Structure 1
Amino acid sequence: MSRLYSPSEWVAPLVPLLSLLILPLGPLLFPRSYLFLLFTYFTVFLYTQVNHVCKFYMTSCKIRATIAKWNQRIRATVVDQQLEEHLQIQQQTCATSRQNSPSITRERNSNNNSNNDTDDRIQILDEIEQLQFYDDPAYIHTFIIPNYCEPDGLLKDTIERMANHRNAKSHYAIIMAMEQSESEWEAKGQRFASIFTDRFAHFIVTGHPQNIPGESRGKGSNVSYGARHGCAELLRRGVDRRQVILTVTDSDSAIPELYVREVEDRLHRADDPHYLLLAPPIFFSRNCYQVPAAVRVTDITWSAMVMSNLSNSGGLSFPCSTYSLSMMLAERVGYWDTDADAVGEDMHMWLKCFFKTNGQVRTAPIYVPINLTNVQTEGYLSNVSARYVQAKRHYNGVADVAYTLKNAFTRRRGAPKGSLLDDASSGLAMVASSSVSWMDKMTVCFLILEAHMIPATSGWLMFAAVPLMQFLLFPPLSALALVDPSQNPILTSDFYAQLWNMVKIITVLLPFPLFGTLAVYEQLHRSIDRDFLLKPKSESRQWKHLLDYATLPVAAWLFMTLPSTLACVKRLSLAEQQYIVSEKLFQDSVMDKDGDRYEMTTKSAT
């Protein structure tokens, strides 16, 4: 049966189509109702944007606090090491001086040195004890890296960063989730395995076959296959499933050790770690100055939206790109969906976990930025085109609108609250609970509609609604008048005249929350570059980069409004959308035959 028989499938395509239709028809056919509609829409939109600025500011403060705590711990550890070395040197000096001094002098000097050393050590230890030290990992952190035709240099750089973590050899596992459609994928996987197998506890390579019935090509199907087969291999090697934490990441994600430490800390503090999905903010700083300003600004606003989302109350927030969950949770919900409607794999997996566990799953924000790579190609227009292709793929996740509505308003039957279901085949013990509360359902529905319907409508209404209504109701030439003045509510009613003025005032105020978001972001970007990535000031954002924001109107329409509208309308078609991998360049340091190093740029296939 066609999916279009479901009423929930019509929400996504109808919303942008109706918003386009009412732009000219509203002022002509029902101007009074249209004025109320604009006032309500713009007021709600303004409220949500102000709310997002506040939440983004909260997230930015927590990110900086987490980084400051980490840096303080590192400084204290270094000082402690230096003190140990200093004490050893002093002890050696005292031992030498005892051989050449009277006994009473040796005793007095020894006591003085001992007291001073003890006081210094106690002071340092007191400072260290006040810090929140991270324990050694208690879980096996398994990183799933889906990739298809990615440059070797990029993959090596991503894995190398994790291999340098202190506990990588004892507590890390890598699952390279490759595609069999990539030429020589097996040799490529074995090449990486030979390089890194001794630097991780486990290194597993999987190859996702082509044309599995019912599957759609994309990150979700790749991750699902890699997770299933990689986890099965870990179990064969004797790893306890209760100790496995799966982290889905991208091939260009630079995951710092602090992220793993914070995940461990959050899991230890959780009542039930197997009902948590842990999500960090995303950040674009690896190649941001090698891409057009419009691309750079788009990813800035994208990361700002993800960060504000992390401060949603009640743990109802969506992950983006990189996130972690337990193997127990992945098994319980049946791993990742692989059909065409699961193209937005990160958001879709959260929704699946939420509904499959009757609303027990919550998001635990991890305030450690994951540094990603902007889409980059050779040539300005080519780069803009590649970013547009990526935007279309992202907004194909609008399929989650129907998925959410169907699950939110479909009554589920389950085991009674508190009953224990023991799956003998997998060893899982699962506690069923009552159904999702209506408040949580409505909140999730609002969040998913906001994520997909606002982009598909705000661009048209914000830029065109007021100017077009002004033109239709107050044309510059009387010959262009389509509405009789006696039928114009703004001219015949003081109430509607005031309402019209309020609508115009609100539209003037709409950009200000965005300005506030960008101001917070500028400070945060500099702080992350300086305090976390340890970049010199010359390599971080400068005042001149504020000119980037002049491209915002074009970027918003090209990379948000247009692709989101097209993605919504294409839901009326039953044809499967093609999954296209975005092209990314990567500069790798290569040694030539004479022993000289040079930079070689490689790129991923599209």
Structure 2
Amino acid sequence: MTEIFHHFFELVAPLTALAAIFILPFGPIFFPRTYIWFLLTYFTVFLYISINHFLKFCITVRNIKRNIRDWNARREHQSTSRDYTTKEVVKSSATSNERTTPTRNGYTSVPMTDQFDSDTRLNEMENALKIYDDGHYIHAFVIPNYEEPEALLRDTIKRLAQHRNATTTYIIVLAMEESEVDHASKAASIKRNFDDSFLDFIITVHPKDVPGESRGKGSNVAYAAREACDYLVRKFDRRRVVFTITDSDSAIPELYVRHVEKALTESEDPYNTICSPPIFFSRNALNVPAAVRVTDIMWSIMVMQNLSNPRGLAFPCSTYSLSMLLAEQVGFWDTDKDAVGEDLHMWLKCFFKTGGQARSVPIFVPINLTNVETTSYISNIYARFVQAKRHYNGVADVAYSLKSAFSKNGHSLDTESLLGSSPTTMTAATTYTSSSGKRPSCLMSCSFFDKAMVVFHVLEAHMIPATSGWLMFAAVPITQFLLISTYSPIADYYPSFQNPIVNSDFYAYMFSLVQAVGVLLPMPLLLCAMIYEGLHRTVDAELFKKGNSETRTWKNYTDYMWLPVSAWLFMTLPSTWACVKRLTRSEEKYVVAEKIFTEAIVE
């Protein structure tokens, strides 16, 4: 019976995508009443989900801006404190309830209450991030790459080298592929550029043609993490090591690492915590076609809204951090062709294999990525389409999540196996028990509701792209043509056909509702886009320190004219193809997204 269900789960994605296509012409003809009810239900649920996404996106935007501004205020406070440590501030009047504070032109008086509130807020920020100064965790940055520009890799690593604790707590794991020509000289050249910049620099070389493995980021990360673990456990306490999995083009701000430290320190169960940040495309966005830009903006928006999940069920994308203990206990990253969506798949594996104990903590600090970029407009569009096809191959996680959620044998690791059986490791578990006496989340069981919500979010991530483009764009026009148009071919071929929209006032009204809701469907996403524009400029100016000429302006609002093209070309078509391909489970040739990078660019 289990095998039957597993086989059925494999069919969910392809059958859903095919049903969305075939229902368009045949639904109005063979079951028109049911079809109208289906459209109204689908559109209403989609609108509800979109509104929910909009609200969560607003929360994420607020938190990102707050973190950036608190970080800048803290740095400005530290800078001001250093500038004035040698100056004495003398009260101008003993009877005044004011004190003098330094300004650009000298000293001025401000109400003591205002200054006290400001100092209190800054002190709170200092205390919240102070744990980072102690350097408790060792951060191993795993950077998988294959045929990426060497200049891009150097720039990505250089940004990490500029962090304050890079020489004391950062370890670079440069994950090379044996199948890349001259990978050894390339890795050696990169390592030479960063002598004494990090605590350690490890180079791993993933062998080619490993039986049962599928080429891609997941298999490279799995090999690199295992090799790094074997090396690092001989030098450090494994409880201190945190893996940050990233991409070759990920510019990671120091603020991200600080908040990872803060999240792990405050977590009741740091060994089951997965830190998930938002993604952001700003490194070369002005150099690519508008259709590519707006596609990646929509991708960023979807990741951002996903982070504000109150139950810790937020999926990571591209970059994320987790403890070495968690990676070891779940058996590291899967490497078969069903694990091509490495980031989401690893999150699902951690969640299900720990019985729902592993959860996400959102890190509201954007990771800056690079858009796909080539030398010509058409080739750039094609390269983004190829990248989209590779991304949507992660639809394999639909079957994986269904199998894991509804398997009778569900995987679960108890606390002892998760933290290790040694007395010292078990003692560490009690260290993170909250002062309120709550049981750590690692001791809590996973409810059926949580599993169902995870499956729902996975279905939402993969089934909506494969169905919404067909139904949102084509369902209403085709239905109008078949049932309402004077040129409808149905009357010629089926003279006895009873048209419910024409013959029934009720179904005519229902179809009017379908049309009205259909008009509203894109509105929440457009509202997200408008809010995103303000966020983009804030992040560029206040976190990445870009000038006005280097960021988006009001002219970029015209980018959204490309949304219908982008939705079809980079979402509907590749996601549908990925779903249908699951029927054969064939594997495509792995193609790296092309990127052009000029090392002289400095942010």
TM-score, normalization by structure 1:
0.88
**What residue is the counterpart of 2:437 in the other structure?**
none
Counterpart residue number, 2:319: 322
Aligned counterpart, 1:604: none
Is the alpha carbon distance of 1:417 and 1:141 closer, same or farther for their aligned partners in structure 2, counting shifts above 3 Å? closer
* 1:195 Cα offset (Å): 2.2
Which sits farther off after the overlay, 571-580 or 120-129? 120-129
- Counterpart secondary structure, 2:85: helix
Structure 1 residue identity aligned to 2:241: V
SS class of match (1:196): coil
Q: Could you tell me which residue of structure 1 aligns to residue 447 of structure 2?
A: 437
CA distance in 2, matches of 1:62, 1:387: 30
Q: Which residue of 2 aligns with 1:513?
A: 524
Query: For residues 416 and 529 of structure 1, what CA distance do their matches in structure 2 show?
Result: 42
**Offset from partner CA, 1:29-56 (integer Å, 9 cap, x none):** 0001111110100000010011111111
Change (3 A) 1:171 1:30: same
> 2:447 aligned with 1:448, yes or no?
no
Q: Within 2, Cα distance between the matches of 1:392 and 1:437?
A: 34
Give the secondary-structure state (helix, strand or coil) at the position aligned to 2:175. strand
Aligned to 2:95: none
Give the letter for the 1:503 counterpart. Answer: V
Q: Which residue of 2 aligns with 1:279?
A: 276
Q: Do 2:280 and 2:367's aligned partners in 1 also have CA atoms closer than 8 Å?
A: yes
Residue 524 of structure 1 aligns with which residue? 535
Residues 147 and 592 in structure 2, CA contact (< 8 A), matched pair in contact too: no
Structure 1 position 491, deviation (Å): 2.2
Q: Counterpart in 2 of 1:129?
A: 123
Is it true that 1:153 corresponds to 2:164 in the alignment? no
| Cα distance in 2 for residues equivalent to 1:326 and 1:401 | 26
Residue 239 (str. 1) matches residue 233 (str. 2):
no
CA contact (8 A) 1:416 1:434 kept: no
Aligned to 2:254: 257
Find the structure with the greater CA-based Rg.
1
- Deviation sequence 1:220-276 (CA, Å, 0-9, x none): 00001001101211122x211000000000111100100000111111110010110
Matches within 5 A, 1:495-514: 495-514=506-525
Q: Describe the shift of the 1:415–1:12 C-alpha distance in structure 2 as closer, same or farther (beyond 3 A).
A: closer
Q: Which runs of 5+ in 1 are unaligned?
A: 92-107, 109-114, 590-598, 600-606
Q: 2:498 aligns with which of 475, 487, 491?
A: 487
**Residues of 2 paired with 1:33 and 1:455: CA distance?**
23
1:131 partner amino acid: M
Q: Distance in 1 between matches of 2:271 and 2:6?
A: 36
Q: Name the residue aligned to 1:587.
A: 598
The 1:177/1:489 distance shift into structure 2, 3 A limit, reads same
Contact 1:253 1:373 in 2 (8 A): yes
Pick from 201, 207, 225 the counterpart of residue 209 of structure 1.
207
Q: Determine which of 290, 299, 304 is the counterpart of 1:302.
A: 299
Q: Is the contact made by 1:472 and 1:483 (CA closer than 8 Å) also made in structure 2?
A: no
1:76 aligns with 2:77: yes
The aligned counterpart of 1:104 is none
Partner secondary structure for residue 582 of structure 2: helix
- CA offset digits 1:332-384 (Å, max 9, x no partner): 10100000000000000000000000001110000001000000000000000
1:551 maps to a residue whose letter is: W
Matched, 1:363 2:384: no
Task: Give the Cα–Cα distance (whole angstroms) in 1 for the partners of residues 474 and 119 of structure 2.
Answer: 63
Q: Kindly state the Cα deviation for residue 167 of structure 1 after the two structures are TM-superposed.
A: 0.6
SS of residue matched to 1:487: coil
Tell whether the 8 Å contact from 1:247 to 1:325 is kept in structure 2 after alignment.
Answer: yes
Go from structure 1 to structure 2 and tell me whether the alpha carbon gap of 1:256 and 1:414 turns closer, same or farther (over 3 Å shift).
closer
Q: Distance in 2 between matches of 1:355 and 1:206?
A: 29
Deviation of the 1:575 alpha carbon: 2.3
Tell me the residue number matched to 2:433.
none
Q: Distance in 2 between matches of 1:261 and 1:421?
A: 25
Is the counterpart of residue 555 in structure 1 residue 566 in structure 2?
Answer: yes
Question: Residue 328 of structure 1 contacts residue 428 of structure 1 at CA under 8 Å; is this kept in 2?
Answer: no
User: Post-superposition shift, 1:204?
Assistant: 0.3
Distance 1:23 1:179, change over 3 A: same
Are 2:396 and 1:399 aligned?
yes
Q: Quickly say closer, same or farther: Cα 1:317–1:201, change in 2 above 3 A.
A: same
Q: Residue 471 of structure 1 corresponds to which residue in structure 2?
A: 481
Structure 2 CA distance for partners of 1:328 and 1:419, relative to 1, 3 Å:
closer
The one-letter code matched in structure 1 to 2:233 is L
Alignment check: 8 A CA contact 2:251 2:368 kept:
yes
Q: Is the 8 A contact 2:139 2:242 kept in 1?
A: yes
- Offset of 1:493 from its aligned partner? 2.0
One-letter code aligned to 2:80:
V
Q: Which amino acid aligns with 1:463?
A: F
Alignment equivalent of 2:185, drawn from 173, 181, 187: 187
Residues 485 and 85 of structure 1: CA distance in aligned 2, closer, same or farther (over 3 Å) = farther
Identity of aligned residues (%): 53
Q: Output the CA distance in 1 between the equivalents of 2:411 and 2:453.
A: 22
How far the C-alpha of 1:318 sits from its partner, in A, is: 0.3
Provide closer, same or farther for how the CA distance between residues 521 and 480 of structure 1 changes in structure 2, counting only shifts above 3 A.
Answer: same
2:22 matches 1:28: no
Shift of 1:419: 6.4
How far, CA to CA, are the matches of 1:422 and 1:46 in structure 2? 43
Structure 1 pair 421/334, CA: closer, same or farther in 2 (3 Å)? Answer: closer
Give the equivalent residue in structure 2 for 1:225.
223
Q: What is the alpha-carbon distance in structure 2 between the residues aligned to residue 246 and residue 41 of structure 1?
A: 40
User: What is the identity, as a one-letter code, of the residue corresponding to 1:357?
Assistant: T
Cα deviation, residue 132, structure 1: 3.6
Q: Deviations over 1:425-474 (max 9, x none)?
A: 99976998575311011101110000000000000001110110111112
Aligned 8 A contact 1:35 1:500 in 2? yes
Q: Give the Cα separation in 2 of the matches to 1:356 and 1:406.
A: 12
**3-state DSSP class of the match of 2:225?**
helix
**What code does the residue aligned with 2:288 have?**
V
**For the residues of structure 2 that align with 1:393 and 1:232, how far apart are their CA atoms?**
31
Q: Is the alpha carbon distance of 1:127 and 1:416 closer, same or farther for their aligned partners in structure 2, counting shifts above 3 Å?
A: closer
- Determine helix, strand or coil for the equivalent of 1:145: strand
Where 1:572 maps in the other structure, the secondary structure is coil
Give the C-alpha shift of residue 184 in structure 1. Answer: 1.9
Q: How does 1:327-366 map to 2 (within 5 A)?
A: 327-366=324-363
Post-superposition shift, 1:422?
7.5
8 Å Cα contact 1:412/1:435 also seen in 2: no
Residue equivalent to 1:270: 267
Q: Deviations over 1:303-336 (max 9, x none)?
A: 0000000012201110000000000000110100
Q: Confirm or deny: 8 A CA contact 2:175 2:206 kept in the other structure.
A: yes
Residues 17 and 569, structure 1, Cα contact 8 Å, conserved in 2: yes
Structure 1 CA distance, aligned partners of 2:410 and 2:53? 36
Partner of 2:165: 167
**Would the alpha carbon gap of residues 318 and 533 (structure 1) be closer, same or farther in structure 2, given more than 3 Å must change?**
same
**CA drift at 1:193:** 2.1
Q: CA deviation at 1:181?
A: 1.0
Instruction: Determine if contact 1:473/1:483 at 8 Å carries over to the other structure.
Output: no
Give the conservation status (yes or no) of the 8 Å contact 1:358–1:433: no
- Cα distance in structure 2, aligned partners of 1:321 and 1:408: 24
Q: Is the 8 A contact 2:536 2:552 kept in 1?
A: yes
Note if contact 1:220-1:337 (Cα within 8 Å) is conserved in structure 2. Answer: yes
Which secondary structure state, in structure 2, belongs to the residue aligned with residue 315 of structure 1? coil
- Which residue is 1:546 aligned to? 557
Q: Distance in 2 between matches of 1:414 and 1:545?
A: 48
Q: Which moved more, 1:218-227 or 1:524-533?
A: 524-533
The whole-number CA distance in structure 1 between the counterparts of 2:542 and 2:489 is 64
Please report how far the alpha carbon of residue 197 of structure 1 lies from its aligned counterpart in structure 2 after TM superposition: 3.4
Shift of 1:487: 0.8
Q: Deviations over 1:503-536 (max 9, x none)?
A: 0100111111121111111111111111111111
Distance 2:28 2:592 in 1: 43
| Alpha-carbon spacing, 1:416–1:407, altered in 2? closer, same or farther (3 Å) | closer
In structure 2, what is the equivalent of residue 65 of structure 1?
A: 66
Offset, 1:131: 3.2
TM-score (normalised: structure 2): 0.89
